[in-house]
Structures are given as structure tokens and as C-alpha cells.
Amino acid sequence: MMYLVELEREIELQPCFFGPRLREVLEQKLHSEVEGRCSGKYGFLVCVTGMGDVSKGQIREGLGTALFNVHYSCLVLRPHKGEVMDCVVTSVSKVGFFADAGPLQLFVSNHLIPEDFSFDSANEPAFVSSDEAVRVQAGAEVRLRIVGTRVDADEIFCVGTIKDDYLGVISQAAGIV
């Protein structure tokens, strides 16, 4: 699920950036340091939506740099157990498949795939339905439900299922009819 959170961060700047464009430089550095990172507490920091108050810089003795305390709002992706997500399959093996939903990587075990699907390694590895109408292969879009999450300090990993109603392939991979 996506959330908008208020955060703060200390940003260090070299003296060459002090001047009339200071706030603009702080904002650029904030974007480069924060966006795309993962925080175990908040989730994936997708993008900075706004920058609020900026403290007066504190000069660091002996270095000449200054530390600024910056308040900002950020859009974060934090997955929860039971949440339904649309993902793109990245790889398939006989034990299951991996899929990505933006920066989030999910794994679906073959035990969490409907029984009428079987693994086919003949051409491109895929799980194929018994009537061969549906293929779960790299590039396919699937809708899945998260059944478990593991949160580390700088990574979030999820396990999902496509075994429930209204879950499964929503779009075949390019080139598949």
C-alpha cells in the first residue's frame, strides 16, 4: 500500500553550494539520497513529494561543510499481508516464479499456484494451465495476494499466491496469443 509520510534527514553540503540557490541544491541532494531507497521502518521510498522546513546550517569544525536538518514528505510503498497487487513475472523455475511490483520483489511458490497448472520447461519455462490457455511466464502480468513479508533493514521481500479467486494471469507476455 502507498502512504504519504513526513520525514526528516540531515544533509551535508560543501561550502561551494552556499548561496542564493541553497534550497534548490538541498532539494536536489535530498532527491538523490532518498528516492529509490528502502527503509525497514517505512518501506520503499518512492519519491519526495515536497520539502518543508530547513534548519540553519551548522558548520562542522575542521571540515568546512554544513549540516542542514530538512523536513520533507515522501511517498512510500509498504506491502502488507493480505494485500492484492498487480506484478510482472521476471523469472520462472520449477519451484515457483519471481515477480516485481515496482521496487518490490515477490515470490510465488509452486504450492501457491492452482493445482491445474503444471511446470513446462519445453520452450520458455512457464506454468501452464491444464487446457493450455493460460501461461505464467517471464513478462506476464499477474494479480496476486501477499501471504507473507520479510522486512530487513534495507530490503523487503514478499511471498504471494495466485490460488484464490480473481487472482492469476491478467495479461500474457508479449508475443503470446
Give the chain's domains with CATH numbers. Answer: 2-77 (3.30.1490.120), 84-171 (2.40.50.140)
Mean pLDDT of the chain: 93
DSSP letter (8 states) at residue 34: H
When pLDDT is averaged across residues 44-65 and rounded to a whole number, the result is 93
Q: Burial code of 146-175, b = ≥16 C-beta within 10 A, e = fewer?
A: bbebebeeeebebbbbbbeeebbbeebbee
List the Cα angle 99/42/50 in 5-degree steps: 105
Q: Looking at the predicted structure, is the pLDDT value of residue 50 above 60?
A: yes
When pLDDT is averaged across residues 65-92 and rounded to a whole number, the result is 96
pLDDT band at 28 (very low <50, low <70, confident <90, very high): very high
